[in-house]
Amino acid sequence: MSYSKRMQQNNLYSVYMAPRGRVRMVDLGMQIAQQYLSPFDNIIGIIGAAGSGKSMLIKGMFPGLDLTNDDSGVNIRPLPLLDIHESTFYSPHTYHVDIRFESAFTPMHVLADAILEVAKQGRRVVIEHFEEIYPTLKRNADLLIGIGEDIIITRPTLLGPDPQNISDLVYKTIKYRLMAHTAEDLCVYCLGWAHDQERGRRADVRHGFVMEFDEKPDVDLVKLEADVKDLIAQDLKVSFGDDYHVIIGDMKIPCQAPRMHVKSTGMVENFSLVPEFVYDSKWKVYMMIGQVGNKERSVLKKLNKIEL
């Protein structure tokens, strides 16, 4: 093992807030690849629920990689991974497989054998839902990434963490991210900004969302909170419109991550807005901060509190 790769194992795990929106997710994927990906990594495990942004993160980490579960390529056959025994100089270096999808067509042991053969040949395979193949594979990923409310990045050793550990963490927290995104889009709709994507830069906070402005908007945040709560109480159906729109009730709203929502507005729990714009003197921006899931309003300086 190279010295540089061995040194990376001193990093037990890193945590990032998982952003909402295609551009921010792809950009974070690029950063993760630059900081954590090694040329010697043969198996990359990705763990996360549907709508968590796995595909967007992968596209950022591996630009140009054909995703076999992509909307435009879901029927790629034969699965390139299964043709590895016929690999030549011109064969791909990096393969992709969605275990949850492919296990409906191919036995787990066949997928596991193909993955191990890829690694043996010094090639790379990116595996979505890695925790489902791990018991058959009996080999942990070289780099393991879980996506929930946070993105957890770890380089497992013989002592762990194991994929189920990461899976338990991210599946537990993803609901807050989905609730926050739906509440965020409802705010934008109520403000009449749905078709003005330049209004308010998006940022993240635990169990909520942030919109940043160079100048303080003339907005009654108390009224806005009441308007959004009214839409939540109506329990409107939330569904995918297209790659750039989400449908809430009969409203078609521009959205950068239309799959990243709860199924109905009634699933957004304990929504609230900080009742005034918060000024960040460091970055010279005014912040509108929304929260979900908290029964009581949190103290601002404790919103991103690290729980040990």
Q: Do residues 112 and 203 both lie within one domain?
A: no
Asked if the structure places residue 140 within a domain, the reply is yes
Looking at 65-79, 195-209, 264-278, which range is the least confident one?
A: 65-79
Residue 134 has pLDDT above 50, yes or no: yes
In 3D, which of 116, 302, 286 has the Cα closest to residue 215?
Answer: 286
227-257 residue pLDDT tens = 999 999 999 999 999 988 999 999 999 888 8
Asked if the structure places residue 88 within a domain, the reply is yes
Asked if the structure places residue 168 within a domain, the reply is no
Asked if the structure places residue 259 within a domain, the reply is yes
Which residue among 135, 161, 187 closes a domain? 161
Range of the domain at 150: 3-161
Total domains in the chain come to 2
Asked if the structure places residue 166 within a domain, the reply is no
C-alpha distances in Å from residue 142, one per residue of 5, 8, 57: 10, 11, 17
Rounded to an integer, the average pLDDT of 107-127 is 94
Q: Do residues 250 and 146 both lie within one domain?
A: no
Which residue among 100, 131, 161 closes a domain? 161
Which residue among 131, 161, 191 closes a domain? 161
Rounded to an integer, the average pLDDT of 201-228 is 93
42-59 residue pLDDT tens = 999 999 998 899 999 999
